[in-house]
Amino acid sequence: MQTETELLAELAEQESRLVFARFDNETAVALGVQLLTAGRERGLPIAISVRRGSQRLFHAALPGTSADNDAWLDRKCRVVDRYGHSSFFVGTQFRSKGTTFEASSRLDPDEYAAHGGVFPVIVADVGPVGTVGVSGLPQADDHAFVVEQLTKFLA
């Protein structure tokens, strides 16, 4: 079993590796379509969001999702926007310090959720410019799916 320190190192490595040369509306739509296609092929009950800043450039919801998944996406995106790291990284970082995001962040849990599934869109020589994420699976699976699809997309 992986320690939280090892997991944090892995999550940080993902963020340093999964970097875009550029990111525009067409890139966002192409990425969203890839996530949608992969989700459909696997029959996953996920909602998908790709944003630049606060503008949602792609959104889709597959069978088995509800408006709750959209709310989870919004809450996880706020965490990524605020901290500049994946929502899974932020939650893991709090747990590695012996606490939870909910107990120690001083942020409203109705507005912020440090649960896996949303990843920063990072542009080389710029930094985080948006988010890509899914909601509908257990948090580690949401995160793993996004990382897998970003890895393929950026290859």
Amino acid at 4: E
> Where do the domains of the chain lie, and which CATH numbers do they carry?
4-152 (3.30.450.150)
Q: 42 is written with which tokens? A: 């696997």
- Taking residue 12's Cβ as centre, other Cβ atoms within 10 Å add up to 14
Which pLDDT does position 44 carry in this prediction?
A: 98
For 90, 97, 105, 126, 135, the CA distances from 132, given in Å and listed in that order, are: 15, 26, 22, 17, 11
Which pLDDT does position 147 carry in this prediction?
A: 98
Reported residue count of the chain is: 155
User: For residues 107 and 126, what is the distance between their CA atoms, to the nearest angstrom?
Assistant: 27
Q: Is the pLDDT of residue 1 over 90?
A: no
The pTM score is 0.96
Dihedral (C-alpha) 62, 63, 67, 69: value to the nearest 10 degrees? -60
How much is the average pLDDT of 12-17?
A: 98
Do residues 46 and 65 touch, judged by C-beta distance below 8 A?
Answer: yes
User: For residues 38 and 8, what is the distance between their CA atoms, to the nearest angstrom?
Assistant: 26
How much is the average pLDDT of 111-131?
A: 98
Which pLDDT does position 2 carry in this prediction?
A: 84
